[in-house]
C-alpha cells in the first residue's frame, strides 16, 4: 500500500497563519504594504525603480498574498508598479487599495470623501491595477466635512455594481465602524497599531469579536522598546531576532484577526520582515512586551 505525504509550504508568510476576509477570500496573515515603494514623502517615483519591482515579486515568492496600496501613494505610482511587477496576477493574490485622501505634496495628505470623488478614484484604481473588480476597497479617511453615511453609501453602491468585492475602513473608532456596518458590510479596519501605540485596543477587540480583519499600519515601530534595555531589544537578543521581527511576532500572537502589512523599499528588509512569521514568542516574552507601556 502506498502512502503520500502532504507537502508543507515553507514560505515564511504562509507560516503566519490564515484568516478569511469577508465570506470568500482567504489570505496569509502577513501582508505587504506598498507605500514605501514610492519616492520620499510618499511622493513621486521610487529612487530605485528596479528594486521596487523586485520587492513586489519577492513578496509573492515569500508567500505574501495580500498587497495593500492606495491611490494616494505616489499618487498613483504604487498601483502602477504593482501592475507592472505582477500582472497577470497569481490567482491567490488579493489586492487591497484605498481612496479618500488628496495629495498636495510630499508628506501632505488631506481627507476628501465626496461620493463622486470616491467613485472616480475607484474607477481609476480599477484601470491602473488592470482588474475588473477590486478585492478590498478601503475608505482611507472619513471626511468630517461630508456626511459619513454618504461616504459609506457610495462604497455600498460600488459593491452592488460589482466594482469592489469587499469594503474596509481606515483610522476609525468603534462607533464609526458600527455606523458604517448599518450601510455596508465591513471586512477590514486599518488603524495605526504597534508595540508603542495601542490606542486602538478597543477597535482591535471589537474586530476580533466580530471576525473583522484588523490591519495595523506602522506595525514594526517599537520606539524606545527597541533600544538597549527595552523589552523588544531584550527579546530580540534572547531569541536571535531583530526588534522589528519581535514587534511583528507580537502582533501576530495578539489576535487571530491581526493582519500586519509591513512595507519596505528593499528586498533585504522584506525578507527580514517575512522571517518574523514563523517566530513564536513564549509567554514570558509576551507578558514583558504587553506590560512594557
What is the set of active-site residues? 73
Grid-cell match 488592470, residue found? 130
Contacts of 205 (CB under 8 A, 6+ apart): none
Instruction: Let me know the angle formed at the C-alpha of 121 by 120 and 125, rounded to the nearest 5 degrees.
Output: 120
Report CA-CA distances (Å) from 236 to 170, 230, 243, 249: 30, 10, 5, 11
Task: Give me the sign of the Cα torsion angle 55, 56, 60, 65.
Answer: positive
Report CA-CA distances (Å) from 22 to 38, 113, 149, 160, 264: 29, 24, 21, 15, 27
Beta-sheet pairing, 32-33 with 134-139: unpaired
Amino acid at each position: 500500500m502506498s502512502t503520500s505525504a502532504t507537502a508543507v509550504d515553507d514560505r515564511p508568510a504562509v507560516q503566519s497563519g490564515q484568516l478569511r476576509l469577508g465570506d470568500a477570500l482567504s489570505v496569509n496573515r502577513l501582508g505587504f504594504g506598498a507605500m514605501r515603494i514610492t519616492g520620499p514623502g510618499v511622493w513621486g517615483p521610487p529612487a530605485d525603480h528596479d528594486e521596487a519591482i523586485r520587492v513586489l515579486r519577492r513578496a509573492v515568492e515569500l508567500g505574501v498574498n495580500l498587497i495593500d496600496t492606495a491611490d494616494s501613494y505616489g499618487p498613483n505610482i504604487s498601483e502602477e508598479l504593482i501592475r507592472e511587477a505582477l500582472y497577470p496576477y497569481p490567482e491567490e493574490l488579493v489586492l487591497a487599495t484605498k481612496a479618500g485622501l488628496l495629495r498636495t505634496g510630499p508628506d501632505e495628505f488631506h481627507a476628501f470623501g465626496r461620493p463622486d470623488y470616491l467613485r472616480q478614484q475607484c474607477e481609476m484604481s480599477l484601470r491602473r491595477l488592470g482588474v475588473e473588480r477590486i478585492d478590498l476597497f478601503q475608505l482611507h479617511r472619513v471626511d468630517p466635512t461630508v456626511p459619513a453615511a454618504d461616504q459609506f453609501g457610495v462604497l455600498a453602491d460600488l459593491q452592488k455594481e460589482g466594482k469592489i468585492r469587499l469594503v474596509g475602513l481606515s483610522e476609525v473608532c468603534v462607533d464609526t465602524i458600527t455606523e458604517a456596518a448599518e450601510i455596508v458590510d465591513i471586512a477590514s479596519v486599518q488603524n495605526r497599531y504597534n508595540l508603542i501605540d495601542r490606542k486602538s485596543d478597543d477597535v482591535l477587540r471589537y474586530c476580533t469579536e466580530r471576525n473583522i480583519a484588523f490591519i495595523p499600519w506602522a506595525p514594526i515601530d517599537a520606539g524606545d522598546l527597541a533600544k538597549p534595555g527595552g523589552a523588544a531589544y531584550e527579546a530580540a537578543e534572547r531569541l536571535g531576532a531583530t526588534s522589528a521581527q519581535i514587534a511583528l511576532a507580537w502582533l501576530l500572537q495578539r489576535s487571530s484577526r491581526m493582519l500586519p502589512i509591513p512595507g519596505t523599499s528593499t528586498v533585504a528588509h522584506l525578507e527580514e520582515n517575512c522571517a518574523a512569521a514563523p517566530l513564536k514568542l513564549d509567554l514570558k516574552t509576551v507578558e514583558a512586551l504587553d506590560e512594557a507601556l
